[in-house]
Amino acid sequence: MQIIRVALDVPVNTIFDYVVPNAITPQVGVRVQVPFGRKMVIGIILEVVTHSSFSKEKLKTVKYIFNDIPALPESLLDLFKFCSEYYQYPLGGVVMHALPTRLRTSRPFIEKPQMKSQFCITNKGKLVDSSVISKRSLVKLRLLALFKESRTIHLSEIKQISAGAVKVLKEFLDVGWVVEFSPKLKIENDVPLILREEQATVVNEIAKELKQFNTWLLYGITGSGKTEIYMRLIALQLLEGRQTLVLIPEINLTPQLEAVFRARFPTTSIISIHSGLSPSERTKGWLQALYGTAKIILGTRLSVFTPISNLGLIIVDEEQDNSFKQQSGLCYSARDLAVFRAKYTNIPVILGSATPSLESYYNAIKNRYRMLRLYSRAADNASLPVIQCIDTRVVRVREGLSDSLIASLEKRIKLKQQSLIFINRRGFAPVLMCKSCTWTATCSRCASRLVVHLKDKNLCCHYCGYKKQIPSSCPECGDQDIVPFGQGTQRIESALKVRFPDARILRIDHDSMRRKAAWRKILEEIHGQRVDILVGTQILAKGHNFPNLGLVGVLNSDASLYSTDFRSAENLFSQLIQVAGRAGRASIAGDVLIQTKFPNHPLYQALRQHDYENLARMILAERRVANFPPYVYQALLRAEAPKLSTALNFLSHVMSLADPGKNIEMFDPVPAQLARLKGMDRAHLLIQSASRMELQKFLAVWRIKLTKISTRKIRWSLDIDPVEF
Tell me the backbone φ, ψ of residue 85, rounded to 5 degrees: -70, -45
Distance CA 385, CA 48 (A): 60
Q: How far is the CB of 196 from ligand ADP (least distance, A)?
A: 5
Query: In terms of Cα–Cα distance, which of 53, 51, 61 is closest to 20?
Result: 61
Residues in the chain: 725
In the complex, the residues that contact Zn ion under the rule CB under 5 A are 434, 437, 439, 443, 445-446, 461, 463-464, 466, 474, 476-477, 479
Q: How far is the CB of 226 from ligand ADP (least distance, A)?
A: 3
Distance CA 461, CA 156 (A): 58
Distance CA 553, CA 531 (A): 16
Q: How far is the CB of 85 from ligand ADP (least distance, A)?
A: 34
Distance CA 71, CA 580 (A): 46
Distance CA 723, CA 125 (A): 47
**Cα separation values, 292 from 106, 175, 278, 297, 536, Å:** 24, 11, 21, 10, 40
Site for ligand ADP contains 523 (CB under 6 A):
no
Q: How far is the CB of 230 from Zn ion (least distance, A)?
A: 40
Q: Contact with ligand ADP (CB under 6 A): which of 17, 180, 198, 228?
A: 228
Given a contact cutoff of 8 angstroms between Cβ atoms, the answer to whether 325 and 304 are in contact is no
Residues 530-559, interacting with ligand ADP (CB under 6 A): 545
Query: Which residue number, 352 or 488, has a Cβ lying nearer to ligand ADP?
Result: 352
Residues 325-384, interacting with ligand ADP (CB under 6 A): 378-379
Site for ligand ADP contains 90 (CB under 6 A):
no
Q: How far is the CB of 195 from ligand ADP (least distance, A)?
A: 5
Q: How far is the CB of 589 from ligand ADP (least distance, A)?
A: 16
Choose among ligand ADP, Zn ion, none what residue 195 binds, the Cβ cut-off being 5 to 8 Å by kind.
ligand ADP
Stretch that binds ligand ADP, among 180-188, 226-234, 526-534, 665-673 (CB under 6 A): 226-234
Choose among Zn ion, ligand ADP, none what residue 222 binds, the Cβ cut-off being 5 to 8 Å by kind.
ligand ADP
Print burial letters for 518-541: b (CB count within 10 Å at least 16), e (below 16): ebeebbeebeeeebbbbbbbbbbb
Choose among Zn ion, ligand ADP, none what residue 269 binds, the Cβ cut-off being 5 to 8 Å by kind.
none
Given a contact cutoff of 8 angstroms between Cβ atoms, the answer to whether 450 and 441 are in contact is yes
Q: Torsion-angle region of residue 610: left (phi > 0), alpha (psi -120 to 50) or beta?
A: left
Q: How far is the CB of 545 from ligand ADP (least distance, A)?
A: 6
Site for ligand ADP contains 721 (CB under 6 A):
no
Q: Contact with ligand ADP (CB under 6 A): which of 26, 73, 176, 223?
A: 223
Given a contact cutoff of 8 angstroms between Cβ atoms, the answer to whether 498 and 540 are in contact is no
Site for ligand ADP contains 199 (CB under 6 A):
yes
Choose among Zn ion, ligand ADP, none what residue 443 binds, the Cβ cut-off being 5 to 8 Å by kind.
Zn ion
Query: Which residue number, 163 or 194, has a Cβ lying nearer to ligand ADP?
Result: 194
Query: Which residue number, 446 or 588, has a Cβ lying nearer to Zn ion?
Result: 446
Q: Contact with ligand ADP (CB under 6 A): which of 93, 113, 220, 629?
A: 220
**Cα separation values, 506 from 428, 451, 483, 490, 521, Å:** 18, 20, 24, 10, 12
Sequence-separated (6 or more) residues with CB below 8 Å from residue 208: none
Query: Which residue number, 379 or 447, has a Cβ lying nearer to ligand ADP?
Result: 379
Q: Is the dihedral of CA 636, 642, 645, 649 positive or negative?
A: negative
Q: How far is the CB of 521 from ligand ADP (least distance, A)?
A: 22
Residue closest to ligand ADP (Cβ): 225
Q: How far is the CB of 229 from ligand ADP (least distance, A)?
A: 8
Query: Which residue number, 217 or 654, has a Cβ lying nearer to ligand ADP?
Result: 217
Return the bridge partners of 467, or none: 460
Sequence-separated (6 or more) residues with CB below 8 Å from residue 394: none
Distance CA 521, CA 527 (A): 10
Q: How far is the CB of 188 from ligand ADP (least distance, A)?
A: 13
Q: Binding residues for ligand ADP, per CB under 6 A? A: 193-196, 199, 220, 222-228, 378-379, 545
